[in-house]
Structure 1
């Protein structure tokens, strides 16, 4: 092999993800999941596909479109599966996510947070020139003017969605009259295309009790309907009304106000959503497709085992993870530092043995995914593929 060829081969090897280097040879081997280096982010492919199909069927039955939120998975592979199942495209929380997915061939993208700095607007306009279907939210007159100027110079109209504050005071126009004024301003810009409005009730998604969540969403929907009536009276009826999420999809779908749903976590699920009654049925609607494989690395203390998945292996703001498999029923966990987690079985039950696999439920799926570079895709106990987390770390 020539020196040039050796150099290119070395570069190719270095470009591979750690998961690719460690685990590519395991693909297709029966039982290969048990040979994964841990902690490993694992995705059950059959569960993922059933979750995608379940939400697609719900949307079709209620005559509403899906524009799933890619902030959950940050994956071009998963976005393609969602689009193949009928989704219009995907949402992105940040411009960087949209750029990463566009580079991987995803053409229909909606950026759900405002893009305001000159440098970011330049990138946005460049992206608008690359993809066939890009939308971005606005919630301030100055942002409308900046986007209009940049899009005008580029020569291709930029499609915008006016973001409405549902009461969270995070982003969005804060008053009904303000919404009408901002929409009117958008329509006055030749280089901008007014497509509709966004209304995302984020803090309502995780209300555990279904009846309480339903009442809260019905109240917020009345507020939204009042704004939509004002817009229609002003001759500014939106073609798109986008919002909702996994926690409220069932309620929003039946209320019939949204034209599309920005559902995200349904594909994976996590502990925070698993405790919510999503459809008032008192049983799970979606399956726990996203999992974290860990390994017992120390078991010297009676009634306790230590696994190799600590604070750096998952998002922690929702508390320690439940155990899906690998420990007696009723076992609990507690963090033991950056790299370690204690598994504590019920009194009188044995702790997992040294070297045993323990499978954990992510407490919060979105930020957990952002900690990993790859999904280990499995069917049963067999590794079938490795997918990159395409937009990992793309938060700018």
Structure 2
């Protein structure tokens, strides 16, 4: 079996601990199911067919994506079952992409032979123009094909990104979706802009936004055939989203509205040593703690002065948009480049990154512990912006490579 220090590979290297990966996927699948919530994992985190197959096996409803290009890729993986369902958690406004989606949703031998066919795809709208573009693109489609397109009105946040800003506007737009002959399935949005942390006040603010989503769902119930989909992100605030969206919804007359809660958490799959470790909504739901699965390994290139070490890893190799990487372990290498024993690092910090270099400040307890040629194992913060810097990742069991997965960015 290959090892991460075989001559096949070189540093910097992206690895995923298999035990942690499987633990995270199984834990989140179980917790959401126990709370009556469906899961459409956001595969933009990893864009890997092999990882997506693990999520499908754990019970995912379908893949969430952020762009039409990601939609084409995810459907092109051809994963059976849930792999033929996708949720574009964004507006679809390019007529070329709408035409492609219509073809992908067209039943028949020609579409399936081309590998384009899908069972169901959901998209957002937040404007009358967006409704008109979708309606024009699907004009004249066979009813069975048009029914495979699900449309959700996006509820946004004042000052945030996309999405209508009020419940009243969302309900009105839902009426336009229905009038245009499109299949309205529910309301969705992203709670991230509501809060930047997890204080009681910030969690309460996320809860209030979720309640607006529920209010919108109640307002459009008469326009939806079947349960109203209520969908939110859920990576940092899964506890609030799950509890609010899974709760009963009543309309203005006091009647219970049938609903489906769908969360789109994606970063959970690897967790991390930074942003998501701090947010940690899963333990607030009573789940076992998720485990950081993702690592980036890099060589020590230089120790040019006391207290300073330079590693061969930079902005092109690791995320830095939320936190800088966390040095975890240093390992000596032998004459053949094989990794030796692990030494935990407790007083070493990354203080800056260039394109291909990391600056490490070394405390007194670790002075002399890192020398040129050693290899440092780093934890990261925000997996989405680390994955996209690589084309493959190694799934590992210790130093052994269990699987090499493609990252289709």
Query: TM class, shorter-chain normalised?
Result: 0.7 to 0.9
CA change 1:249–1:32 in 2 (3 A) is same
Aligned to 2:378: 360
CA change 1:99–1:235 in 2 (3 A) is closer
Q: Is 2:29 the counterpart of 1:73?
A: no
- The CA RMSD measured in Å over matched residues stands at 2.4
Aligned to 1:340: 357
Aligned to 1:90: 63
Per the TM alignment, residue 90 of structure 1 is displaced from its structure 2 partner at its CA by 1.2
Conservation of the 8 A alpha-carbon contact between 2:195 and 2:206: no
Cα separation, 2, equivalents of 1:103 and 1:234: 32
3-state DSSP class of the match of 1:275?
helix
Aligned to 2:175: 184
Aligned to 2:197: 207
Per the TM alignment, residue 353 of structure 1 is displaced from its structure 2 partner at its CA by 2.0
Aligned to 2:392: 374
Q: Is 2:294 the counterpart of 1:294?
A: no
Conservation of the 8 A alpha-carbon contact between 1:311 and 1:335: no
Cα separation, 2, equivalents of 1:386 and 1:76: 11
Structure 1 runs not aligned, ≥5 long:
1-27
When normalised by structure 2's length, the TM-score is: 0.82
Cα separation, 2, equivalents of 1:99 and 1:84: 21
Q: Is 2:132 the counterpart of 1:145?
A: yes
Conservation of the 8 A alpha-carbon contact between 1:274 and 1:284: no
Per the TM alignment, residue 97 of structure 1 is displaced from its structure 2 partner at its CA by 0.4
What are the Cα deviations for residues 34-75 of structure 1, in whole angstroms up to 9, with x where unaligned? 973111111111111100011011012111111111111111
Superposed counterparts of 1:213-362, under 5 Å: 213-232=202-221, 239-255=228-244, 256-257=246-247, 259-270=261-272, 271-278=274-281, 279-280=283-284, 285-326=289-330, 328-350=345-367, 351-362=369-380
What are the Cα deviations for residues 337-382 of structure 1, in whole angstroms up to 9, with x where unaligned? 2111022221242241221111112222112211111111111111
Per the TM alignment, residue 329 of structure 1 is displaced from its structure 2 partner at its CA by 0.7
Conservation of the 8 A alpha-carbon contact between 1:277 and 1:284: no
Aligned to 2:111: none
Cα separation, 1, equivalents of 2:186 and 2:303: 57
CA change 1:29–1:236 in 2 (3 A) is closer
What are the Cα deviations for residues 225-244 of structure 1, in whole angstroms up to 9, with x where unaligned? 32223223777885211113
Cα separation, 2, equivalents of 1:179 and 1:69: 24
Conservation of the 8 A alpha-carbon contact between 1:208 and 1:276: yes
Cα separation, 1, equivalents of 2:8 and 2:308: 23
1:193 counterpart (183, 193, 202) = 183
Structure 2 runs not aligned, ≥5 long:
107-116, 248-259, 331-343
Cα separation, 1, equivalents of 2:195 and 2:35: 19
Per the TM alignment, residue 277 of structure 1 is displaced from its structure 2 partner at its CA by 4.3
1:170 counterpart (161, 164, 185) = 161
Conservation of the 8 A alpha-carbon contact between 1:30 and 1:381: yes
3-state DSSP class of the match of 1:113?
strand
Conservation of the 8 A alpha-carbon contact between 2:157 and 2:193: no
Per the TM alignment, residue 125 of structure 1 is displaced from its structure 2 partner at its CA by 2.2
Cα separation, 2, equivalents of 1:245 and 1:277: 11
Conservation of the 8 A alpha-carbon contact between 1:164 and 1:172: yes
Per the TM alignment, residue 118 of structure 1 is displaced from its structure 2 partner at its CA by 2.0
What are the Cα deviations for residues 71-105 of structure 1, in whole angstroms up to 9, with x where unaligned? 11111111111111011011001110010111111
